[in-house]
Amino acid sequence: MENNLPILGVTLFSFTNEWQQQLYTLDTMIARVAELGLGPGIEVVGFQSFRSFPDIPDDEAHHFRKILDKYNLIPTCLGANIDIGRRRDRLMTADEIYDIVRRQLISAKKLGFPIMRVPPYAGELTLENLLSLAEQYQIQLAVELHSPLSVDNPVVVKLRSMFERLQSPYLGFIPDFSTSMIAVPEGHWRNLRRAGASEALIEAAKAIWLTNDPIPNKFSALAEACQQYAATPEVIGQINMTMTMFGHMPVERWCELLPYVSHVHGKYYEVNADGIEPSIPYRDLMQLLKRQGYHGTISAEWEGQAHTEEPIGFQQVLAWNSMCKRFLEA
């Protein structure tokens, strides 16, 4: 890859099926990534990859950095989590949210990550209060923008306003390609058929998804369709995700985010036999990043495990890597 192009890599979240089936340890998974040439970037979800998380001991952090050095891989992003509903009686308080994010930021420093992904519900106050520590550690606190969040979402508008006010390179976004999809993945419809959804309901859901109506309006229309086609509670639970997991913000709107972006989630569900992701306009997205001079990192994030339990993550990431290089080098 040319030096002025984005740096490709992978989030180990792509290998969730492999994790769950205990086919790899963290060390052997990283070794396999290196063997297949899927780096150099390595992104890790803290709670998925480290038993000691969020409080990583020094020796475990040293071992992780040593493994990456051994295979000439680079740490790109640590995925932080906030389980605000972990208690049955109440949600986490602002002080508890601050503390859990702070502990993960300390571990990000130990592990050598320059960016830490933060969920949007961390809140502006938490981000602002942690900024001095992030600046001391030289780690960017980057809010993930996953569908249904888009440029015009009030949460994003408020965050951008805060970023502009504070003018710190240690605050930013991690946009996810799920915000700009052109179709709902076929695996999602297969899951719904297995759950008992009728073809008439699926066609109605496809038509509703394609509209530019606000999400609350889409949910209202979908609720009517579910009633009309006698959807079961299981089908209703799954089909509601159609309107939140798969956004279709125009690709051009990414230009408004890029001044705040150093890392991107290359979400995808499948790369078909033609080397294309049918539900996401990868060619347009990659060409836009190239045209705009983006030379940060992009992690392959295969989320096909939502539709299959097969341990095919490495196969899928190989196909993603080849597809992205083809579009970037065109």
Neighbours of 182 (CB within 10 A): 14
Residues 243 and 148 sit within 8 Å (Cβ to Cβ): yes
- Segment 12-21 shows an average pLDDT of 98
Q: 107 phi and psi, to 5 degrees?
A: -70, -35
pLDDT score for 300: 98
Alpha-carbon distance of 283 to 302, in angstroms, equals 17
Alpha-carbon distance of 241 to 226, in angstroms, equals 13
Q: What is the pLDDT of residues 229-239, one digit of tens each?
A: 999 999 999 99
**How many Cα atoms sit within 13 Å of 148 on the Cβ side?**
15
Tokens 């990456």 label which residue?
68
Neighbours of 106 (CB within 10 A): 16
Residues 305 and 13 sit within 8 Å (Cβ to Cβ): no
Helix axes 215-228, 233-240, angle to 10 degrees: 150
* pLDDT at residue 115 is higher than 60: yes
- Segment 200-221 shows an average pLDDT of 96
- Segment 292-303 shows an average pLDDT of 97
Give the whole-number percent of the chain exceeding pLDDT 70. 99
Alpha-carbon distance of 45 to 111, in angstroms, equals 12
**Domain 7-182+247-329 class in CATH:** alpha beta
Give residues with Cβ within 8 angstroms of 91, minimum separation 6.
84, 85
pLDDT score for 76: 98
* pLDDT at residue 2 is higher than 80: no
Alpha-carbon distance of 278 to 270, in angstroms, equals 8
Starting at the edge strand found earlier in the chain, the sheet holding 297-302 runs 171-175, 140-145, 115-118, 74-79, 41-45, 7-11, 297-302, 263-268
* pLDDT at residue 222 is higher than 90: yes
* pLDDT at residue 1 is higher than 70: no
- Segment 275-283 shows an average pLDDT of 98
User: What does the domain layout of the chain look like in residue ranges?
Assistant: 7-182+247-329, 186-242
pLDDT band at 116 (very low <50, low <70, confident <90, very high): very high
**How many Cα atoms sit within 13 Å of 234 on the Cβ side?**
8
- Segment 263-267 shows an average pLDDT of 98
* pLDDT at residue 163 is higher than 70: yes
Instruction: Report the DSSP beta bridge partners of residue 41.
Output: 9, 74
Give residues with Cβ within 8 angstroms of 211, minimum separation 6.
218
Write down the catalytic residue from 63, 146, 188, 248. 146
pTM of the model: 0.95
Residues 299 and 44 sit within 8 Å (Cβ to Cβ): no
pLDDT score for 99: 96
Cis bond before residue 169 (omega within 30° of 0): no
pLDDT score for 85: 84
Judge whether 146 counts as a catalytic residue: yes
Least confident of 65-69, 85-89, 314-318: 85-89
Q: What is the pLDDT of residues 121-151, one digit of tens each?
A: 999 999 999 999 999 999 999 999 999 999 9
pLDDT score for 330: 87
pLDDT score for 87: 85
